[in-house]
């Protein structure tokens, strides 16, 4: 049974970002064209009054929340208060007002960084809050955990149908290719491209290259979100449950396949066409040694990723070149 109809008024907060735009495209592909896509110039999600007035005026049936302050290890280290305060405000403003104004269903996009630094692999949903977080992105993670718990509390107390997806590391169309404030794949794409253009013989990468990471193309995430909205209600009797039989408000989404940062760097160098040597600056932090999600619950429901990493990297490099040609890269 499809839990969505094409008449739904679907609001996406964060629709200009990589995840939000991918979800919007996926919704259009599946026939859900009645979308409300406020951007920052139209709505400041940090302003509770503005969010409240927007909800009151537009009355969406479905809300998808992808808006967030995001960044890599360096950005999290340099701006911890910004990451915590801004994300808490965005989440509370949107989720609480969605509930207050009668939104029928809500999808909140979290992150795999919610899980402990050291935990059994692959990471099951039950690992949440079982041991300390990775220090390099704990501020962002704590905010995302608060968002999950807000959704869960509204379901428990008010029967609000809120679900959350925890994607692994995302990349793809619409990514941020900033040289210091981006995530690993876009940062490496830019670094290797600039080294190729400048005829540099070496590229220096952070850390040892040994950590294992899992990556999901944004287009796959978009499909997972549509699938979840069509097939998963947190209020349904057949909703996924944890090991103790309690309904789960959040599910992992990823490929279930990881790769070392060293091997990833080599793949990106090949895609970009950089033929020099890769050096590793071991004075820089590695972060979590391994992070691979257990995606078996979403697979059992009927969804799995479809874009192999090699194909996805080629698509991402093309996106970078398009951004570069259009002079849209962030400096």
d(CA 175, CA 320): 8
d(CA 293, CA 214): 8
- The pair of three-digit structure tokens given for residue 144, joined into one six-digit string: 């995302």
d(CA 106, CA 235): 12
C-beta neighbour count of 78 within 10 angstroms = 12
- The pair of three-digit structure tokens given for residue 264, joined into one six-digit string: 């990833």
Query: Which one of the listed residues 32, 140, 171, 317 is annotated catalytic?
Result: 140
Locate tokens 């899992």: which residue?
214
Which CA distances in Å does 225 have to 39, 229, 234?
Answer: 20, 6, 14
d(CA 87, CA 67): 8
- The pair of three-digit structure tokens given for residue 4, joined into one six-digit string: 């969505």
Q: HSE on the CB side for 301, CA within 13 Å?
A: 24
d(CA 164, CA 253): 10
C-beta neighbour count of 293 within 10 angstroms = 27
Q: Which of 46, 250, 241, 221 is nearest to 148 (CA)?
A: 250
Residue 140 annotated as catalytic: yes
d(CA 189, CA 273): 10
> Which amino acids are annotated catalytic?
140
């Amino acid at each position: 049974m499809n839990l969505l109809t094409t008449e739904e008024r679907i609001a996406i907060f964060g629709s200009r970002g990589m995840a939000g735009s991918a979800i919007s495209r996926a919704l259009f592909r599946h026939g859900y064209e009645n979308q409300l896509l406020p951007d920052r110039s139209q709505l400041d999600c940090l302003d509770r009054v503005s969010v409240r007035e927007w909800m009151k005026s537009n009355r969406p049936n479905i809300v998808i929340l992808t808006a967030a302050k995001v960044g890599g290890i360096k950005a999290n280290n340099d701006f911890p208060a910004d990451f915590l305060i801004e994300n808490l405000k965005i989440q509370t403003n949107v989720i609480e007002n969605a509930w207050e104004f009668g939104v029928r269903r809500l999808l909140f996009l979290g992150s795999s960084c919610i899980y402990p630094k050291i935990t059994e692999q692959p990471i099951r949903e039950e690992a949440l809050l079982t041991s300390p977080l990775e220090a390099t992105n704990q501020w962002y993670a704590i905010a995302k955990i608060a968002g999950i718990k807000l959704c869960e509390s509204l379901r428990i107390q008010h029967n609000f149908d809120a679900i959350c997806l925890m994607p692994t590391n995302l990349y793809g169309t619409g990514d941020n290719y900033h040289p210091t404030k981006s995530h690993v794949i876009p940062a490496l794409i830019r670094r290797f491209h600039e080294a190729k253009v400048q005829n540099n013989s070496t590229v220096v990468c952070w850390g040892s290259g040994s950590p294992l990471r899992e990556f999901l193309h944004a287009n796959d995430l978009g499909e997972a979100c549509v699938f979840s909205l069509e097939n998963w209600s947190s209020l349904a009797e057949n909703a996924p449950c944890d090991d103790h039989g309690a309904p789960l408000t959040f599910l992992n989404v990823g490929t279930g396949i990881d790769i070392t940062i060293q091997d990833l760097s080599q793949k990106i160098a090949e895609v970009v066409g950089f033929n020099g040597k890769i050096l590793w600056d071991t004075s820089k932090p590695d972060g979590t040694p391994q992070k691979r999600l257990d995606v078996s619950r979403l697979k059992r429901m009927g969804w799995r990723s479809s874009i192999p990493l090699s194909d996805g990297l080629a698509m991402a490099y093309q996106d970078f070149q398009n951004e570069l040609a259009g002079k849209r890269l962030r400096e």
